[in-house]
């Protein structure tokens, strides 16, 4: 059974053309993908709305997570850690290359802890680093 199918099964999602295809695109991609990238990579076979809904489903199930980009766009990437329905616990830094524009999960780079002023509590931390990636230097 294909990896994509396996993931769908594991999250009790029905095996539809768009879900399988979108998942395969993610599995083959090394960097995070924008909605447009997915439209293109799937050969424009699916309606924009279907892709939006597919992505939302994947987020809800903990299959992908979103990454905020500098220009207020969203990119999507597979969750490597064990995210579950309704709860993501990605704790890694995201990197955006100023040259090639690729957005990547630095899965091995944990977000450092930070000491907040008295009385503030933390539920979530996002850390996005811009710079030049190893391939573009």
> Where does this chain bind DNA (CB under 7 A)?
13-19, 34-36, 45-50, 52-54, 56-57, 72-74
| Residue 23 found at the interface with its own copies (CB under 8 A) | no
Name which of DNA, Mn ion, Zn ion, none residue 29 binds, using a CB cut-off of 5 to 8 Å depending on partner kind. Answer: none
C-alpha 42/C-alpha 24 separation (Å) is 9
The position carrying tokens 């990547």 is 104
Q: Does 83 bind Zn ion (CB under 5 A)?
A: no
106 binds Zn ion (CB under 5 A): no
Taking CB under 5 A as the criterion, the residue among 36, 81, 91, 100 binding Zn ion is 100
What ranges make up the beta strands (E) of 59-110?
A: 64-68, 74-78, 92-97, 103-110
Give the nearer residue to DNA in terms of CB position, either 56 or 130: 56
Binding at 17: pick from Zn ion, Mn ion, its own copies, none (beta carbon under 5-8 Å per type): none
Q: Judged by CB under 8 A, which of 72, 82, 86, 87 binds its own copies?
A: 72
Q: List interacting residues with Zn ion (CB under 5 A).
A: 97, 99-100, 133, 136
Q: List interacting residues with Mn ion (CB under 5 A).
A: 77, 105
């Amino acid at each position: 059974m294909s990896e994509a199918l396996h993931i769908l099964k594991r999250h009790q999602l029905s095996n539809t053309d768009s879900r399988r295809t979108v998942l395969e695109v993610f599995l083959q991609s090394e960097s995070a993908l924008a909605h447009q990238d997915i439209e293109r990579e799937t050969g424009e076979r699916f309606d924009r709305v279907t892709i939006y809904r597919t992505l939302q489903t994947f987020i809800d199930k903990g299959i992908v997570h979103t990454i905020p980009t500098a220009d207020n766009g969203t990119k999507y990437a597979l969750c490597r850690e064990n995210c579950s329905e309704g709860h993501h616990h990605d704790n890694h830094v995201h990197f955006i290359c100023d040259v090639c524009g690729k957005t990547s999960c630095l899965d091995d780079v944990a977000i450092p802890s930070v000491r907040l002023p008295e009385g503030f509590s933390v539920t979530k931390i996002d850390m996005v680093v811009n710079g030049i990636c190893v391939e573009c230097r």
